[in-house]
Amino acid sequence: MNPKENYLHEFFRIFFANKQWVKRVFLIFAVIALALPLMLKQSFDITAQVIVQSKKLSQGDATTSLNQEDATFIPPSLADMETESNILRSPALIRQTISTLRDQGEYTPSPGIFNKWVSEPLKHYVTTPLREYVVNPLRDGLGLEVDPVRDTTLDMLTDEAIANLKIETLPGSNVISIVYSFGDPAQGTRFVAQLLENYLSGRQDLQSIELPQAFYEQKKTQYQTRLDGLEGTRLALLEDVSSSDPKEEITFRLNAINTEEQALNLYRDRLLQSQRWLDYLKTSLAAANNSRFNDYTFPFTFTTTMDNIAFEDREIKQLGEQLTTQVSRYMNDLAIFQPGSEPMLLTREQIARTRQQFLKVVSNRIQERTNDLAVVSSVIDQKTARIAEFKERIHQLQQTQSKLRQMDTEINALHAAFSTYAQRFAESSTARALDNDLSNARVLSPPFEPTAPAFPKPMLIIAFGLFSGLLLAIALVYVREFFDHRFKHPAQITQQLDVPVLLVINEQNPEQVNPHRNWSLPSLVHWVRN
């Protein structure tokens, strides 16, 4: 079997032939792996979670208060969750949080090795003096505006916090995870807690319109003054028309007008009928006065019908019957007696007296009907005037009612406007923004101070460093072996020179035994050197 084809044998040959190199490289990496956990700055992971319960959409108008009945809740979409995450990781929010904690003296991060030994001195001893003593004098000499030297500590802390802050939405949920890596667990916990508080406050400011207390009090005073003026004007309108409810009085007056018009129509019909009968009676009376002696009939009986019952004038009826009887007797006696005889003359006198008495009674009845006609006319005039008064009163009440409707509309609009201001002021209060149901975001898991650092992990670093050192040592040995063209075993002579090997002489120097005690420092040095 060709030794070149035995890869395992070749591996071990190269490994043990260069074991001194392997030991030295491995020990260097072992020392680095052991020293690295001591040199690296510890970092603690402070975690918290925020849940976005739903997205609230108001279903009422600006005059309604925001409550459970006037709002619809829908699940947040992926875009909504990404928006919430962007609000949490916004530089302005992080800068505000750091500034607040620095003002309270609760955020004083200690820099790491790189920042302490390289970055901060470079910024302080290079950037600031360069701008202050070189750039600014040159700009001043050229007549340009001099850049002021600003304190960049807050900017540096903000950039560092953004780099150490990891905010992401948990897949398939409405929960936002917050992980902040910081060297001081107490300060990191305060930072995350203040960040969540500022996030909820800022989120509430985005959802509602901020109304200060002074603005609300001013609107309240204006509302009360305007309302008193409108109510006073409304009361004055009612007092001018002497009515407490124009609408009800208008209804009453319309009913009265309807009743009066019905009665007026009856009286007008009665007036027309009476006028026609009176004219007829006057004509008949004039004809009766000019009639012949033996014409004893009268064309009207003075019968009045009421509710389908006929009422006759007894006096007229008796006189008419008496006159008829006398005329009949006279006509009968005229066949017996002479017209100029004493009985006939006496009968004619009786007929004449009865006739005059009858016509006198008829004239009295005509006079009564004339007076009754005048009374009916006066009643018609009175009812007409009363209806006109009712209509005038209705017109006055309608004008007042129209003004009252305008006043009521303005009062309702004033109530609605003040209700809107009151609602917005209630929504904008800080305590309500954090404690009530207006905000649909909640802190699901508040930050807590960790007890164990998340970085560095000594066991992982040491194990990975030792394994990496071993692999790198083997790789370096193989690279060195690749560029070393010396013969290492007899087979190479045969392969490269094509000559046989006659004799192989082994090295006679025996391997030196470690004279020092095991696991001691001299023993370790001797092991490394040999």
CB crowding 477-503: b at 16 or more within 10 Å, else e? beeebeeeeeeeeeeeeeeeeeeeeee
Distance between CA atoms of residues 412 and 356, nearest Å: 82
Are both 296 and 392 inside the same structural domain? yes
Give a yes or no: residue 487 inside a domain.
no
Q: Domain check: are 341 and 419 in the same one?
A: yes
Residues 89 and 147 in one domain: yes
Q: Are residues 448 and 390 in the same domain?
A: no
Confidence (pLDDT) at 523: 65
Residue 493 is assigned to a structural domain of this protein: no
- Say if residue 413 is in the same domain as residue 444: no
- Phi, psi (degrees; rounded to nearest 5) at 182: -150, 150
DSSP state of 170: P
| Of 32, 40, 47, the residue nearest 183 (C-alpha) | 40
Chain-centroid distance, C-alpha 449: 38
Q: What pLDDT score does 237 carry?
A: 87
Using CB atoms within 10 A of its CB, is residue 385 exposed (0-12), middle (13-18) or buried (19+)?
A: exposed
DSSP string across 58-72: E-S-TTS---GGGEE
Q: What are phi and psi of 506, to 5 degrees?
A: -75, 155
Q: Which residues contact 47 (CB under 8 A, 6 or more apart)?
A: 177, 178, 179, 180, 445, 447
In total, how many domains does the chain have?
2
The residue behind tokens 């309807």 is 258
User: Residue 472 corresponds to which tokens in the numbers above?
Assistant: 């790198």
pLDDT per residue rounded down to tens, the chain (530 residues): 454 556 676 776 766 667 777 777 777 777 787 777 777 677 788 888 888 877 655 444 444 444 444 455 677 888 888 888 888 888 888 888 888 888 888 887 765 433 443 344 444 444 555 566 666 677 666 666 655 645 678 888 888 888 889 999 888 888 899 998 888 888 888 888 888 888 888 777 666 545 566 766 777 788 888 888 888 888 888 888 888 888 899 999 999 999 999 999 999 998 998 888 888 888 888 887 877 766 656 777 777 766 667 667 788 788 888 888 888 888 888 778 787 788 888 888 888 888 888 888 888 888 988 999 999 999 999 999 999 999 999 999 899 888 888 888 888 888 888 887 777 666 655 444 444 444 577 888 788 787 777 666 777 777 777 788 778 877 877 777 777 667 666 777 777 777 787 777 766 565 666 666 666 666 666 566 66
Residues 254 and 121 in one domain: no
Q: Are residues 412 and 342 in the same domain?
A: yes
Tell whether 348 and 258 lie within a shared domain: yes
- Predicted confidence at residue 390, as pLDDT, reads 92
461 within domain boundaries:
no
pLDDT at 181: 87
Provide the pLDDT for residue 64.
Answer: 45
Q: Do 277 and 183 share a structural domain? A: no
Q: Check whether residue 274 and residue 155 sit in a common domain.
A: no
- Is 473 in contact with 25 (CB distance < 8 Å)? yes
pLDDT value for 381: 93
d(CA 251, CA 246): 9
- Joined together, the tokens standing for residue 132 give 């202050």
The count of other CB atoms within 10 Å of the CB of residue 48 is: 21
Do residues 318 and 442 both lie within one domain?
no
In a domain, 362, yes or no: yes
**In this structure, how many other beta carbons lie within 10 angstroms of the beta carbon of residue 52?**
23
Task: Establish if 518 belongs to a structural domain.
Answer: no
Last-in-domain residue among 426, 446, 480: 426
Residues 6 or more apart from 271 whose CB is under 8 A from it?
Answer: 373, 376, 377, 380
**pLDDT confidence of residue 56:** 57
Residue 340 has a pLDDT of: 79
**Same-domain check for residues 191 and 283:** no
Q: Flag whether 194 is in a domain.
A: yes
Structure tokens at 195: 């960040």
**CATH of residue 153:** 3.30.1890
Q: Please, what's the b/e burial string for 207-242 (b: 16 or more CB within 10 A of its CB; e: otherwise)?
A: ebeebeeeebeebeeebeeeeeeeeeebeebeeebe
For residue 498, the model assigns a pLDDT of: 75
Residues 286, 290, 291, 293, Cα dihedral to 10°: 130
Q: How far apart are CA 9 and CA 229, in angstroms?
A: 110
For residue 303, give both structure tokens: 């019968």
CA–CA distance, 227 with 408 (Å, rounded to integer)? 11
Whichever domain contains 289, its CATH number is 1.10.287
- pTM surpassing 0.85? no
Domain range holding 408? 240-426
Q: Tell me whether residue 524 is in a domain.
A: no
3-state secondary structure at position 31: helix
Q: What is the pLDDT of residue 492?
A: 72
Q: Is residue 529 part of a domain?
A: no
Contact status, residue 54 vs residue 77, Cβ threshold 8 Å = no
Give me 173's structure tokens: 């949920």
Q: Residue 507: what pLDDT?
A: 64
Please enumerate in sequence order all residues whose Cβ is within 8 A of that of 464, keeping only pairs 6 or more positions apart, or say none.
Answer: 33
